[in-house]
Structure 1
């Protein structure tokens, strides 16, 4: 039994040694490299965080509240006053510029006085404005021409309908005049009447010599 257990333990130790010294696969190598890169990234983030905290502690606050017994220097007070003054002037200028930009009064004044026509941008686009005006005039003229043609078309159509009705009336009257009863009435007025005897042939007899 002792020999059996000793052999079993030796085999187990050999298998562990073989597992420790085995060659890694490419997938395992890539996984180890990725773990190493992640560790380096975490270390770099921690170092940058520590550096930022150190610089934040070292920097002095700009607008910190003065403690009891502390006084501002003259340079600091003048800098603060000049900064507020510049900010006030800038805000006033911005408000004035915004007011003039969004106001309608200057635009109406330019339109009424006609000053917008004397600007460089307008004078530069005068040929284009003339071209557009010409197109508008041509468009209006074509509209009037189309209306005139449409009126003439309607007038001609109305005349055609009237002539067609007159033609139909005359045709009906002519057909009535061609009827036998109407013909008999018309010839009776001039002394003619319809014969009731059948027609016969007239022969011309020449005298013999």
Structure 2
């Protein structure tokens, strides 16, 4: 069996590959040369671009301003890390600011910033706002006037109470001075004394009788 199958493999016809070194036509030669020329131009442009990028990068490294506390020989990796760190901090600050802006109510934000005063509705009602402001000022002035009158009223009432108390004190002292015992003591200093005998009537008789 093995010999039979090996015989079949040997007798199997091989495919015709054709000629390996085919002669190119003039058109194909022209196209091939054009492709080679374009490839060479592309390689030259890419090499020129790479050289320009390297030159610009070197010039940027030379002309870079050295910050305070930063070494002039800082490696690109360190500068890249610093850039990423600053960008991360800036993003965190922006997120915090955005969170703060979103947490405040728009109406409160407009009131605090004064933007509501520039709206058309507010500017149209400026005369009415002036009138209301005048009313508020008059109300405040009347409040101060009422307080002043109330203070004067309390002051007058306090003075009246003091005078009334003084009047009552003087009246009590005067009534004390009018008592009989007090009068006797006062006239004793003058050499006078009260008569304890009842009065009697003196009769006069004429001599003619």
Smaller-chain TM-score bracket: 0.3 to 0.5
TM-score of the aligned structures, taking structure 2 as reference length: 0.42
Select the structure of larger CA radius of gyration: 2
TM-score of the aligned structures, taking structure 1 as reference length: 0.42
